[in-house]
Structure 1
Amino acid sequence: MGKARTVGIGMDYSATSKSALRWAIDNLIEAGDQMIIIHVRSPKSDPTNKQLFADTGSPLIPLEEFKEANVSKQYGLTPDPEVLDLLDTVSKTKGAKVVAKIYWGDPREKLCDAVEHLKLDSLVVGSRGLGIIKRVLLGSVSNYVVTNATCPVTVVKGTPLPKP
């Protein structure tokens, strides 16, 4: 076992972001690592404390607090039982420290900001698998992050993995 690492997981509760989370748990996370679940909310969303944390994102939210529905709702999130179960399991079985952080803005920029602010050793994101036309028009978050992040980025793509 080497030095404990800080690994970010981009999470929007889509099937591919859940696959990225499963992949990170199965292939990357080791005992003592810190997992930071990074949510990027639309700047149009309006939770009560958004203005307070607009530039820096929310404080780190420990898993025990994040599992409480009222805490997630404060940040404009709807808790996902499957994701919370995966996080709880990795915390207990691998001894990883799990926290969440919420940003508001463009996911491409905010995920790259998170790499810097949180001093991530690695970032794992899902890929929606946009076709060429949509990727050109909408831009690919994963492509932008791979190109601009200052840490290794793993993109988990393709169809969602089956549940274990």
Structure 2
Amino acid sequence: MGKLGRIGVGVDYSAASKSAVRWAIDKLVGAGDSGDVIIILVHVLSPKSDPINKQLFEDTGSPLIPLEELNDMNVCKKYGLTPDPEVLDILNAASMTKGVEVAAKIYWGDPREKLCDSVENLKFDVLVLGSRGLGLVQRLLLGSVSTYVVQNAACPVTVVKTPPAAAKP
């Protein structure tokens, strides 16, 4: 596989998305990739959420938010985020040890559509998603974000299964 420059990771801070973040860092980022790779977390919030700046960015998503700003709770509050400290620890460690750049982008709307939009807008080389492991009936009734994105995204998509122990509350 060639060197990847832009890696998108869909996150909602569930066990599945934490697995996706870990997998992307462990499998797609090498120690010598400093400065060559950026991981962009893609958050899709409910269209009903109403952070201060939502109206400015509703169609295009927020500007890229660097990791340093993601660590600032005031910045997160401004965008309607409640980041998971464990995910921030994972990202901070990857930034320090592997030299990978990390940023986030926030969209509002249907996760399936907005994740596909993020691929187009941010020119990802690959998008990594977690899978909640819905059964066949649940997928048919509820739909699956990962299935939709795999079928419609304009880049390769990797779906990371959540380890059974991590999926339980």
Instruction: Specify if TM > 0.5.
Output: yes
**Whole-Å separation in 1 of the counterparts to 2:126 and 2:60:** 20
Of the three residues 136, 139, 161, the one matched with 2:143 is 139
SS at match of 2:115: helix
Task: Give the aligned residue type for 1:66.
Answer: L
Q: Which of 87, 91, 98 is matched with 1:83 structurally?
A: 87
Show the 5 A alignment for 1:98-137.
Answer: 98-137=102-141
CA deviations 1:94-153 (Å, max 9, x no partner) are 111100000000000000000000000000000111122221121100000000001110
Alignment identity in percent? 68
Q: CA deviation at 1:3?
A: 4.7
The answer as to whether partners of 2:41 and 2:104 remain within 8 angstroms in 1 is yes
CA distance in 2, matches of 1:138, 1:8: 24
Match of 1:13 in 2: 13
Matched to 2:43, the amino acid is H
* Length-normalised TM-score, structure 1: 0.94
What CA distance in whole angstroms lies between the structure 2 residues aligned with 1:128 and 1:93? 29
TM-score, normalization by structure 2:
0.91
Aligned equivalents of 1:160, 1:118: Cα separation in 2: 32
Task: Look up the match of 1:63.
Answer: 67
**Residues 16 and 160, structure 1, Cα contact 8 Å, conserved in 2:** no
Contact 2:19/2:162 (8 A) holds in 1: no
- State the superposition RMSD in angstroms: 1.6
Q: Structure 1, unaligned stretches of length 5 or more?
A: none
The Cα of 1:45 is off from its aligned counterpart by: 0.7
1:7 touches 1:33 (CA, 8 Å); kept in 2? Answer: yes
Runs of 4+ in 1 over 4 A off after TM superposition: none
Q: Which amino acid aligns with 1:22?
A: R
Q: What amino acid is aligned across from residue 25 of structure 2 in structure 1?
A: I
